Chain A
Amino acid sequence: MVLNCKHVWREISNYIEGTVDPDLRAAIETHLAHCRHCAAVLDSTRNILVLVADDRTFELPVGYSDRLHTKLAEMIESSPPGT
């Protein structure tokens, strides 16, 4: 199975997920070994996902958790679930 760059881009998300079948994975890896551009596209996409999932990307407001649980405590105090 010989893939061109567009084929690889179409599978890049599934490749990152690890959900492509072994034959396709092998073909993608063969392509990546010889195509610097696709390798960089894969690395940059994967690295962006790492940055996005990092807790530091979004800052929690100071006191967020306390305010949330205070509100919740008022609700819990006043009524049981389902009301």
Chain B
Amino acid sequence: MRVSGNPGSAEDDACREAEIIARILAGERELFHLLIQPYEKKLYFAAFSLLRNAEDAEDAVQEAVLKAYKALPSFRSESKLSTWLASIVLNEAKGRLRHARILAFDSIDQSPDPDEDFTPAVIADWRQVPLEALERKELRELIQEAIATLPEIYRDVFVLRDVQELSITQTADALEISEGLVKVRLLRARLMMQKCLAPKLRSERGGLFGFLRKGVGASWF
């Protein structure tokens, strides 16, 4: 299974992907494995962000990838493969959410008023990112829960832009909304995440990262 070209710039990657797709459609079907490999991890993260259940997220990605394989002839090279795959996974995961009637608890009525001012959590200081703390299950669960509790329209842009790391343009394409709307929703989503997480992540009384403060004798937040 050899394909010319090395991973490099986004343009190189797109050319390489276009070449692989052409070869798959010409009969080298097994190259599809290679095509999705770079994306499979982030696709799972996106599905899990919505579904919050490992088995459901894995099923959603499997189904979405099979759909992508079937629909490959309809993929247009002017789109980015990552955007296309992300929108298929997002739709699959959202379909499952609706099926489970989880969306009944996530109605538009519960979304913040668009004109409402957002006030972030005001905290005194937060200097460094405690990446090592991600080894702790509590922190991972806290972040996952915060994403899951975002209203749907904000969660969609947040998952695509900040979890899956698509660009603003790609996020707009995947959701079929304007870039301006992506930016507005992203601001609200990020401030909601900040408001929810910042006070929990920095606790004067030892809280989640108390062990770090005691352990290393330094102030993380």
Q: Per a CB cutoff under 8 Å, which of B140, B187, B202 touches A10?
A: B187
Query: Cβ of A56: which chain B residues have Cβ within 8 Å of it?
Result: 131, 134-135, 140
**A67/B62 contact (C-beta < 8 A), A41-B122, A44-B123 known:** yes
In the bound complex, CA of A9 to CA of B117 (Å): 10
CB distance from A7 to the nearest CB of B (A): 11
Task: Tell me if B's interface is mostly helix, strand, loop or mixed.
Answer: helix
In the bound complex, CA of A74 to CA of B41 (Å): 20
Query: Cβ of B100: which chain A residues have Cβ within 8 Å of it?
Result: none
Task: Tell me if A's interface is mostly helix, strand, loop or mixed.
Answer: helix
Query: Cβ of A17: which chain B residues have Cβ within 8 Å of it?
Result: 168, 183
Q: A82 and B33: CB pair below 8 A?
A: no
Q: How many residues of B contact A (CB 8 A)?
A: 64
Q: Tally the A-B contacts, defined by beta carbons under 8 Å.
A: 158
Q: A59 and B29: CB pair below 8 A?
A: no
Beta-carbon nearest neighbor of A47 in chain B: B129
- Please list the residues of chain A having a beta carbon within 8 angstroms of any beta carbon in chain B: 6, 9-10, 12-14, 16-17, 19, 36-37, 40-41, 43-45, 47-61, 64-65, 67-69, 71-73, 75-76, 79-83
Contact sample, A vs B, 14 pairs, CB 8 Å cutoff:
A9-B120, A12-B190, A13-B186, A13-B187, A16-B190, A36-B125, A41-B198, A44-B121, A45-B120, A58-B49, A72-B69, A76-B29, A76-B30, A80-B29
